[in-house]
Each structure stands twice: as structure tokens, then as C-alpha cells.
């Protein structure tokens, strides 16, 4: 198993090459829809929880339409979860004002804000990962450039992603070299890891320089090119208008509360 599979940095690109409905949507449309989704989700106040629930419909639909394994996506989200926890973990201790009641249990504002932060983190990070998994970085960066992003930023974003493979491959070579010499990574002292990281950086820089020289020798001029240029179709416009309308409606009205009222009224 190569280093790319070891770090799973290439799994998103493999998913982007699937022949699935979500992958066939234009990259520019998915980028705009994801931006509207993130703006709507992040615009809620810190005590809003139930209003965020309808937004889960979008990532669930994209997971199904893009044939993206939910377990793999969840593992990726967990890698960034400590940052969100660091932001929200102290809210229940500092904000003790009662805000809601669940039967005999009183819920403070701190717990509501904690739940709101974690839900918004789950939604936004999940939507970003789904965007890459359904599009691929090459098509996504080309789409962002056509939407007005400066070319230098789009190219740098693409290179940042591509060079993860370079670093992963060099790290895999160093790991295999240590294992073949009988070293156990978990048993190495801490100072050795610092030396290994330094050597990894130097090897990655040397490899990156060779890659760049090879690209220039093949005529690279800074333009992101696609083998099959895409054009907006009717289904792309339907995707854009449909999801944008849903997000705006969910932001204006609390659809979860409206649905709960309808169901409780029907039951009574």
C-alpha cells in the first residue's frame, strides 16, 4: 500500500472520478451552492439549534447522489473536530443562563451554543469535503478561476493539494526505510521525530523542485486546463436554483419548527 493510501489523501480524487449524478454537476454550480450553504449555516445566532436541522438534507442528498461512503467522510470530519471542540467546550461552564426546558431538565444557553457550534462545524466541513469528493481539485480550481478567483490563487490552491501527495510519498519512503532497518516508530524518542520531520521537509522541497522543472519543460504556463471543458446545462441550473431556494427558505423560516407544528397539530 503506497503512502497516498496510507494517509488517504487520494481517496477524494478517486471519488471525484466516479460516474455518479453528483459528479456530473458543473463544478462552478457546486461551488456556488456550497458557498450559499455555508453562508446560510454560519449566519445563525449561537443559540439556534433546531433551525439547522433542515440543512442536513443537502449533505445527505449529496452523499447518496455521489456514492460517497459516509464512514470515510465522518473520519475526515473527526480529524478537524478538536478545533471546534476547543472553541465550544467551555461554553456550558460560562453561560449558565436557562434558555430552554426539556421536560424536567433545564438547558442552559451554554449547552445550546455548544450544540450550535458543533452542528455548524459538522455541516460546513462536511459540505466542503463533499464538494471536493464530488468535483476533484483540478476541476474545482478551474471552476473557481472561471468564477473570478485570481489565477495565481487558484493555481496555488491546486498545487497545495497536489503536493500533499509528494509529501505523503516521501513520508512513506522514510517510514519503509526505518521499518526495513528494524526500527519501531512508536518506540523512537521524541528528538528523533524532529530530525525525521526536518529530513522529510528537505526531501519534499527537493522533490517539488524537480516536479516544477519537469512541468516547465513540458510547457506549463500557469493556466489550468481541462481535457473536457464543461458548459452549463439545464440540470445544472435546476441544481443551482433548487438548492439555493431551499437554503434561503430554511434561513428565513424555521422549517423544523413548522414541520413539528404541523405534525403535532395533525396528531392532536
In-domain check, residue 267: no
In-domain check, residue 156: yes
Q: What does the pLDDT look like over 197-222, one tens digit per residue? A: 787 788 878 877 888 888 888 887 77
Q: Is residue 187 pLDDT above 70, yes or no? A: no
Cell match 532497518: residue?
181
Mean pLDDT of the chain: 82
Residues 51 and 175 in one domain: no
In-domain check, residue 246: yes
Residues 252 and 162 in one domain: no
In-domain check, residue 65: yes
Alpha helices in 102-233 (DSSP H): 109-135, 137-146, 151-180, 190-217
In-domain check, residue 172: yes
Residues 242 and 166 in one domain: no
In-domain check, residue 265: no
What grid cell was written down for 66? 455521489
Residues 102 and 25 in one domain: yes
The pLDDT assigned to 59 comes to 95
How far is the C-alpha of 172 from the C-alpha of 200, rounded, in Å?
10
In-domain check, residue 141: no
Instruction: Report the number of distinct structural domains present in the chain.
Output: 2
Residues 106 and 209 in one domain: no
Residues 67 and 155 in one domain: no
State the pTM of this model: 0.80
Residue 3's pLDDT band, with cuts at 50, 70 and 90, is very low
Residue 185's pLDDT band, with cuts at 50, 70 and 90, is low
The pLDDT assigned to 102 comes to 73
Contact criterion met (CB below 8 Å) for 140 and 227: no
Q: Is residue 13 pLDDT above 70, yes or no? A: yes
Residues 49 and 117 in one domain: yes
Residues 102 and 173 in one domain: no
Q: Which of 50, 46, 216, 36 is nearest to 131 (CA)?
A: 36
The domain of 217 spans 149-224
Q: Give me the mean pLDDT over the 226-252 stretch.
A: 87
Q: What does the pLDDT look like over 114-157, one tens digit per residue? A: 999 999 999 999 999 999 999 988 888 888 888 888 888 888 88
Residues 40 and 127 in one domain: yes
How far is the C-alpha of 262 from the C-alpha of 133, rounded, in Å?
36
Q: What does the pLDDT look like over 40-92, one tens digit per residue? A: 999 988 888 888 999 999 999 999 999 999 888 888 898 888 888 888 888 88
Contact criterion met (CB below 8 Å) for 232 and 32: no
Number of H helices and E strands in the chain, helices first, is 13, 2
Residues 37 and 68 in one domain: yes
Residues 17 and 37 in one domain: yes
In-domain check, residue 9: yes
The pLDDT assigned to 53 comes to 92
The pLDDT assigned to 228 comes to 67
Task: Provide the 3-class DSSP secondary structure of residue 182.
Answer: coil
Residues 208 and 236 in one domain: no
Amino acid at each position: 500500500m503506497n503512502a497516498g493510501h496510507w494517509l488517504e489523501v487520494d481517496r477524494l480524487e478517486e471519488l471525484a472520478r466516479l460516474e455518479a449524478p453528483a459528479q456530473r454537476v458543473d463544478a462552478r454550480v457546486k461551488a456556488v451552492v456550497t458557498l450559499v450553504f455555508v453562508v446560510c449555516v454560519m449566519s445563525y445566532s449561537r443559540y439556534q439549534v433546531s433551525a439547522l436541522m433542515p440543512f442536513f438534507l443537502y449533505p445527505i442528498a449529496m452523499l447518496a447522489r455521489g456514492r460517497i461512503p459516509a464512514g470515510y467522510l465522518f473520519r475526515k470530519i473527526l480529524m478537524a473536530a478538536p478545533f471546534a471542540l476547543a472553541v465550544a467546550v467551555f461554553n456550558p461552564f460560562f453561560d449558565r443562563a436557562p434558555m430552554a426546558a426539556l421536560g424536567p431538565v433545564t438547558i442552559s444557553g451554554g449547552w445550546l451554543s455548544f450544540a450550535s457550534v458543533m452542528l455548524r462545524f459538522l455541516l460546513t466541513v462536511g459540505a466542503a469535503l463533499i464538494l471536493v469528493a464530488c468535483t476533484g481539485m483540478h476541476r474545482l480550481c478551474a471552476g473557481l478561476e472561471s468564477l473570478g478567483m485570481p489565477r495565481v490563487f487558484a493555481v496555488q490552491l491546486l498545487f497545495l493539494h497536489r503536493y500533499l501527495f509528494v509529501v505523503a510519498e516521501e513520508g512513506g519512503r522514510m517510514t519503509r526505510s526505518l521499518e526495513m532497518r528494524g526500527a519501531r516508530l512508536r518506540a523512537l524518542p521524541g528528538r528523533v521525530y524532529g530530525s525525521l520531520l526536518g529530513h522529510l521537509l528537505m526531501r519534499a522541497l527537493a522533490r517539488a523542485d524537480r516536479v516544477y522543472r519537469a512541468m516547465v519543460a513540458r510547457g506549463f504556463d500557469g493556466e489550468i486546463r481541462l481535457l473536457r471543458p464543461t458548459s452549463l446545462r439545464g440540470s445544472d441550473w435546476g441544481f443551482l436554483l433548487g438548492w439555493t431556494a431551499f437554503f434561503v427558505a430554511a434561513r428565513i423560516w424555521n422549517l423544523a419548527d413548522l414541520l413539528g407544528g404541523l405534525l403535532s397539530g395533525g396528531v392532536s
